[in-house]
Amino acid sequence: MLGARHDAARAVGEAHSVALLAEGLRKAYGATVALEHADISLAAGKVHALLGENGAGKSTLVRILTGAVRPDAGTLELNGSYYAPQTLIEARSYGVATAFQELSLVPNLTVAQNLLLPDMPRGPLGLVSFRRVLEMGSDILARHGLQRIDPATQVALLPLAERQRIEIVRAMENASSLLILDEPTAALAETDWLFDRIRMMTARNVAVLYISHRLAEVREICSDATVLRNGRSIASVGLAEASDDDIFEMMVGRRVDHTARNRAASRLSDAAPRLSVKGLSGHGLKDISFELRPGEVLGIAALEGQGQRGLFRMLAGLTVPERGAVQIDGLPTTLSSPRQALRAASGIAYLPEERKTEGILAGLTAATNVVLPVLPGAAYAAMITPQAELRAAGPSATKVDMSPRYLDFAIGDLSGGNQQKALVARTLATGAKTLLLFDPTRGVDVGTKQSIYAAIRAFAEQGGSVIFYSSELPEVVQLADRCLALYDGRVFQAFEGDAIAEQALVAAIHGHAGGHH
């Protein structure tokens, strides 16, 4: 059956000419096989999706195509001829370019310099001509409708979304036969500009490989998809013929059940607020007030950069608000550090935005990572053994459905999903009654998402309070008892109970007051 699907994909591919054909790609890093056996065929002028859970091998495949790593086995053909790029630059010379997920712009160079790397235009003396760099940079920006960006600005000073656009533009400028977009919408609030640009590329007969976790987007722009699971290409399908559940099944290897959520609204109406925020301002926030009650899950919905980061960092004690007051359990509190936030009254525990740079401590065991905030409690007279850490971390790990056998691994060696589970377990282990979860399921697979959702619900049912921000609206709809839509640093609209619906949220986060209650 899978074979049949594969043939179907090829038939689709042959309508347009095949731009890239990869067969039997394999790559191992030491004992770890990142890519077992991948086949993929991309048609010129079409957008092809690459789907798969984290660790399925997508990034490895991208790196092979883009010349950053060389496969151990398998063949690549580009436009009918042998293709084996040794370096990124060589791949570029074949017209293959990638917009990387983690963005590959150099922060201390200007926009124009980044667009032209690594070879700058030179003046008569063979020296780099700053004037021509700027000219060429602004030409490129203008071509892609980004005139608003000053080519002489340092990249570091730009907002994340603009950086992502520049990353994409740079790849497009270098891609004449194959464009690879790895999670291109991670920081983009809307897809109009991107899809417009992609259509321009396909009109030029460029093949596009599109990688995203967001299936709705994929359905909108892509015609076909290849699904990777555990380093193998499972199937290539026409997206029109496959339902979401089919695709999830291929990605995960089992069906995902949609359990109806039960909102806790009725339980909490009369309880005293656990957290009360009044007039909080600064760091992108303008006069935010709200209350959070025991047992409540409060969702924050917003486009990128509407002040949600400031809100979470202030409540976590990482930044100081310019104005405003915070009360925990009715007591006025100044949150000056995460450590102090943990100890303030019933405690606030924070799950940071960036797992790799703010979350995990890569070399330490998962158990140490989980118990770190409560280490003195797990120790006798400040002395601690690895066994004591395992014992202390066990219960929290169980709550997030993380197998205890992973606890004595260095957390850096675990999969992204298990790392995230460990970090959620850490917030639970602190014993804090309020959890601040910033995008708790960012970049994790479907199975891990379900475990994290279950842990959040269980925590709330036992009287805990949760504030979470999610970049995915369906997640807010599914989890939140109450939801605040932020726009331009203010609470634009609040939703409660069944009023939390995706369409209404979309309007609100864009600043359109649709359907007031």
Partner 1 sequence: MTQTPEPTPFTQAGDTRTSAKISRDTISAVSVAVLCVLLLLSARLVSPALGSWTQVETVLVLGFFLVVLSYGQGLVILSGGLDLSLPATITLGGILATSWVGANDPNAWYLLPVVLMICGLVGLMSGIGVVWLKVPPFIMTMAMSIIVASALLGYTNGTPRGAAPTAAVALMKTELLGLPTPVIVLVAFVAMGWLFQSRSIYGRYLYAIGTNLDAARIAGVPVTMMQILPYVISAMCAGFVGIALVGYSSGATLRMGDDYLLPSIAAVVIGGSSILGGRGTNLGTVGGAILLTTLGTIISALGMEFGLRTVIEGSIVLFALLLLREELFQKLRNLWR
Partner 2 sequence: MALAQFEVQTVPAWKTLLIKSTRGAALIVGIYLILYAFYAYQQPRALSASSFASLMNNTAPLALAAAGQALVVISRGFDLSVAGVISICNVTLAVYPLEGPGGALMSALLCMAIGLTVGAVNGVLVAVLRLQSIAATLATMIICQGIALVILKAPGGSVANWIADEMTGRLAGVIPVSGLVVALVIGTWLLLRRSNFGLSLYAIGADEHSAALSGINTRRVRFLTFVIAGAIYGLAGFMLSAQTATGNPTAGTPLLMLSFAAVALGGTSLSGGKGGLFAAVMGAAVLMLLQKVLFSFGISSFYTGMFQGVALICAVVFSGLLTRLGEVK
Residues 98-117 that bind partner 1 (CB under 8 A): 101-103
Nearest to 114 by CA among 173, 63, 55, 183: 173
**Residue 41, token pair as written in the block:** 């065929």
Q: Where does this chain touch partner 1 (CB under 8 A) — which range of 109-117, 119-127, 287-295, 373-381?
A: 373-381
Q: How many CB atoms lie within 10 A of CB 347?
A: 17
Q: Where does this chain touch partner 2 (CB under 8 A) — which range of 72-80, 115-123, 221-229, 290-298?
A: 115-123
Q: What is the 3-state secondary structure (H, E, C) of 378-400?
A: HCECCECCHHHHHHHHHHHHHHC
Largest alpha-carbon pair distance within the chain?
A: 77
Q: Pick from 79, 153, 205, 346 the residue near partner 2 by CB under 8 A.
A: 153
Q: Where does this chain touch partner 2 (CB under 8 A) — which range of 134-142, 283-291, 425-433, 438-446?
A: 134-142
Position 352 contacts partner 1 (CB under 8 A):
yes
The Cα–Cα gap between 307 and 285 comes to: 5
Nearer to partner 2, 140 or 303 (CB): 140
Distance spanning both ends of the chain, measured CA to CA: 50
Shortest CB 350 distance to partner 2, Å: 24
Q: Pick from 4, 127, 240, 381 the residue near partner 2 by CB under 8 A.
A: 127
Tell me, what DSSP letter sits at residue 320?
-
Q: Where does this chain touch partner 1 (CB under 8 A) — which range of 84-92, 160-168, 248-256, 486-494?
A: 160-168
Which runs of consecutive H residues, i.e. helices, occur in 279-415?
A: 308-315, 338-343, 366-371, 375-378, 386-399
Touching partner 1, residues 425-484 (CB under 8 A): 426, 430, 442-443
Q: Pick from 75, 147, 385, 403 the residue near partner 2 by CB under 8 A.
A: 147
Burial of 387 per CB tally in 10 Å (0-12, 13-18, 19+): exposed
Write each residue from 27 to 66 as x if it is in contact with partner 2 (CB under 8 A), else as -, in one continuous string.
----------------------------------------
The Cα–Cα gap between 13 and 244 comes to: 22
Position 339 contacts partner 1 (CB under 8 A):
yes
Residues 441, 452: contact at Cβ < 8 Å?
yes
Q: Pick from 413, 453, 494, 499 the residue near partner 1 by CB under 8 A.
A: 413
Q: Pick from 83, 94, 100, 350 the residue near partner 2 by CB under 8 A.
A: 100
Nearer to partner 2, 170 or 433 (CB): 170
Shortest CB 409 distance to partner 2, Å: 25
Q: Which does 147 bind (CB under 5 to 8 A by kind): partner 2, partner 1, none?
A: partner 2
Shortest CB 23 distance to partner 1, Å: 21
Shortest CB 472 distance to partner 2, Å: 27
DSSP E strand boundaries for 250-307: 275-282, 285-292, 297-301
Nearer to partner 2, 314 or 424 (CB): 314
Touching partner 1, residues 171-210 (CB under 8 A): 183, 186-187
Cα-based distances in Å from 336 to 74, 273, 317, 481 = 55, 21, 5, 29
Q: Pick from 79, 104, 205, 450 the residue near partner 2 by CB under 8 A.
A: 104
For residue 316, give the amino acid letter.
Answer: A
**Residue 155, token pair as written in the block:** 């990249």
The Cα–Cα gap between 418 and 11 comes to: 39
Position 405 contacts partner 1 (CB under 8 A):
yes
The Cα–Cα gap between 81 and 61 comes to: 19
- One-character DSSP codes across 159-217: -HHHHHHHHHHHHHHH-SSEEEEESTTTT-S-SHHHHHHHHHHHHTT-EEEEE-S-HHH
Q: Which residues contact 119 (CB under 8 A, 6 or more apart)?
A: none
Position 118 contacts partner 2 (CB under 8 A):
yes
Shortest CB 228 distance to partner 2, Å: 22
- One-character DSSP codes across 465-486: EEEEE-S-HHHHHHH-SEEEEE
Q: Where does this chain touch partner 1 (CB under 8 A) — which range of 9-17, 58-66, 483-491, 502-510?
A: 58-66
Position 270 contacts partner 2 (CB under 8 A):
no
Shortest CB 456 distance to partner 2, Å: 33
Q: Where does this chain touch partner 1 (CB under 8 A) — which range of 189-197, 354-362, 479-487, 489-497?
A: 354-362
Q: Which residues bind partner 2 (CB under 8 A)?
A: 68, 87-89, 92, 98, 100, 102-110, 113-114, 117-120, 126-128, 130, 134-135, 138-139, 142, 147, 150-153, 170
